[in-house]
Structure 1
Amino acid sequence: MSDQKPKENPLKRILLVFSMVAFLGSTGYGLFGLYSNALQQPQTTATSEEASVDQQLAAKERGYELVLEREPENRVALEGLVDIRLQMQDTQSAIAPLERLVELHPQDAKYKIKLAELKQQADKL
């Protein structure tokens, strides 16, 4: 008996090599796309989040202003307007609704204290 290896079909070998190259190529292409998108997204997301937050604050501010047009003595709307304007870092604009709160509720010391603090900050600017 002779030790003869069965002859492999060269067509099978070519198909196997071609399949492996195609698999590795498609996997590499997919991973490259995944990583390149992951590197680009944080830059655009940060700026869009900042714009979104600014838009939300502006919308809330406008909402409080609309309430105050109908109900100028609305305590919740006045407090909300002060808070929103402080979040927007608009100290000067936050003073007017806070002064109104002091007029409406002179017995509430927290409004007077906050007003004095804001006026000091505005003077420094």
Structure 2
Amino acid sequence: MASAESDYLEKRRQQIARKQRIVTYISLVGFGSSILFGGFNTVKQAWEKPEQSVVQSAETELQKQVKGYELVLQREPNNQMALEKLSIIRLKSGDNKGAIALMEKLVKLHPDRQDYKTVLEGVKKRNIN
């Protein structure tokens, strides 16, 4: 009877081990497929609209910076850093007239800064041509 019990227990352990392996394999397949599905969707979305979101976020960031500097200039009209940064942004965006006005103000506020004068002259020359 002891041998029948040990045979039964051994068969039962094997059945349990087999069921555990099956459940493990099913879990691994489900986990792997969910990762592949998520990765596929991410790659697909990135492939469809890669540049649009980057361009929009850069424009949005630039607009936020412009608004921030303009707010600073409303509170402190002679803020040197805000005048500098806003004039640079306007130059890069093609608003030469706005940049020239800001740089003229910088030259008036800081007549000792030769770099302001040089940049202002260069922008005026480019604006004329």
Superposed pair shares fold, TM > 0.5: yes
Instruction: State whether structure 2 residue 104 is matched by structure 1 residue 99.
Output: yes
Count the aligned residue pairs. 108
* Partner in structure 1 of residue 74 of structure 2: 69
Residue of 91, 94, 103 corresponding to 1:86:
91
Structure 2 counterparts to residues 44-55 of structure 1, below 5 A: 44-55=49-60
CA offsets 1:24-56 (integer angstroms, 9 cap, x no match) = xxx9xx979966863552441211111111111
Give unpaired runs (5+ residues) of structure 1: 1-26
Q: Which has the higher contact order (CA 8 A, sep 6+)?
A: 1
Q: Which residue of 2 aligns with 1:123?
A: 128
Larger helix proportion, structure 1 or 2? Answer: 2
The alpha-carbon distance between structure 1 residues 91 and 42, as it changes in their structure 2 partners (threshold 3 A), is: farther
The aligned counterpart of 1:112 is 117
Quick one: which amino acid aligns to residue 75 of structure 2? R
Instruction: Give the match for residue 56 of structure 1.
Output: 61
The residue identity in structure 1 corresponding to 2:62 is L
User: What are structure 2's unaligned runs of at least 5 residues?
Assistant: 1-31
TM-score by length of 1: 0.65
In the aligned structure 1, how far is the partner of 2:101 from the partner of 2:128? 15
TM-score after normalising by structure 2: 0.64
Identity of aligned residues (%): 40
Cα contact 1:57–1:88 (8 A) shared by 2:
no
- Once the 2 structures are TM-superposed, how far is the Cα of residue 107 of structure 1 from its aligned partner? 1.1
Kindly report structure 1 stretches of 4+ aligned residues shifted beyond 6 Å: 30-33
Q: In the alignment, residue 117 of structure 1 is paired with which amino acid?
A: G
Offset at residue 101 of structure 1 (A): 0.1
